[in-house]
Structure 1
Amino acid sequence: MDIREQKLEQLGYPLDRIVKPAAMYDLLAVDGDIVYASGSIPLDGATLASTGKVPTDVSVQEAQAAAALCVANILRTVHSQIGALARIERVIRLTGFVNSAEGFTDQHLVVNGASQLCRDVLGDAGRHARSAVGVYQLPLDVSVEVEMILKLTR
């Protein structure tokens, strides 16, 4: 287990909690050294950890934790399918979608939860370009969904 995998586990995200796709898609698509991670929702095992609109049903802090869980699920999938988190050269882009109540404009604060976990686990390799998007609804009424583009070492 490398230092990144140890860090992920120390932060409370066991590597053996692998997420399965909720529909007909692949969790990762790899093209050379680029990994496109499908939108990840806040699943904790088979349980949805966060549903509803931010901030009326889910607080900003709860949604930040859900965004971090989405990233953890992507990193778990990379570990499972690619072999090691040490293969991640850098996170290129992260996009967070926030199930937003009318008038809510702090999506960027919610997606900070995802960005912070990237940096906590991957260090400087976790720095990335980012978009935080407020949406009217997300699949399964989850509060947040995160997708990522990663570059692998050769």
Structure 2
Amino acid sequence: MVAAGESRSGNAEQRLQELGIQLPDAPTPLGSYVEAVQTGRLLFLSGMLPIADHKPKYVGRVGAELDGDAARDAAYTTALNALATARQYLGSLNRVTRVVRLGVFIATSGDFFDQPRVADGASDLFREVFGREKLPVRLVLGVASLPLGVPIELEVILEVT
């Protein structure tokens, strides 16, 4: 039997260790907002960006200044920030019982159409950490621009104990 907050191969914190993933420090707000708000069993994360040391790690539009592989890595980096934020708020990722929703906003040139593959950079990390059975519903959108000129912004909603 799988306990709440655990994937079939172990809990989320153990999976991070098994995968050799060290989470970055949780990002701090870049404006007048908080990074996470819990209501009931849902934890809402503010828009997550590919930020490192309080500045963008990636800048540019996908299909113009960045290719799909760089954008996929930016999505992965952004998902790491989301996990770091959730861990900081919850104390442990083992409290996550499900990733409910993942919104992936991708700044693109008008002729880039591989947004789902870019979004998989984030989805695949969540699958590896929490298990396939906890994958979220997902919305992927190409947009004209995002804050600070970054290529990716994630919206994440988690169910927690």
Is 1:93–2:101 an aligned residue pair? Answer: yes
1:77 maps to which of 85, 93, 117: 85
Change (3 A) 1:4 1:45: farther
Give the distance between the partners of 1:64 and 1:83, measured in 2 at CA: 28
Residue 32 (structure 1) shift: 1.0
Unaligned ranges ≥5, structure 1: none
Aligned counterparts, 1:44-59, within 5 A: 44-59=52-67
Unaligned ranges ≥5, structure 2: 1-9
Q: Number of paired residues?
A: 152
Give the distance between the partners of 2:112 and 2:28, measured in 1 at CA: 31
Task: Kindly indicate whether the alpha-carbon contact (under 8 Å) linking 2:12 and 2:130 is maintained by their aligned counterparts in 1.
Answer: yes
2:43 maps to which of 28, 35, 39: 35
Give the distance between the partners of 2:18 and 2:49, measured in 1 at CA: 21
Q: TM-score if structure 2 supplies the norm length?
A: 0.86
The 3-state SS of whatever aligns with 1:93 is strand
Tell me which residue corresponds to 2:154: 146
Give the distance between the partners of 1:76 and 1:68, measured in 2 at CA: 12
Give the distance between the partners of 1:16 and 1:70, measured in 2 at CA: 10
Tell me which residue corresponds to 2:129: 121
Percent same amino acid at aligned positions? 34
Residue 52 (structure 1) shift: 0.1
The 3-state SS of whatever aligns with 2:105 is strand
The 3-state SS of whatever aligns with 2:127 is helix
Tell me which residue corresponds to 2:32: 24
> One-letter code of the match for 1:54?
V
Change (3 A) 1:74 1:61: same
Q: TM-score if structure 1 supplies the norm length?
A: 0.90
Task: Kindly indicate whether the alpha-carbon contact (under 8 Å) linking 1:91 and 1:125 is maintained by their aligned counterparts in 2.
Answer: no
Residue 40 (structure 1) shift: 0.3
Give the distance between the partners of 1:99 and 1:64, measured in 2 at CA: 12
Residue 8 (structure 1) shift: 3.3
Residue 43 (structure 1) shift: 1.0
The 3-state SS of whatever aligns with 2:60 is coil
Give the distance between the partners of 2:133 and 2:53, measured in 1 at CA: 27
Give the distance between the partners of 1:7 and 1:111, measured in 2 at CA: 21
Give the distance between the partners of 1:101 and 1:95, measured in 2 at CA: 19
Task: Kindly indicate whether the alpha-carbon contact (under 8 Å) linking 1:19 and 1:43 is maintained by their aligned counterparts in 2.
Answer: yes
> One-letter code of the match for 2:23?
L
> One-letter code of the match for 2:120?
N
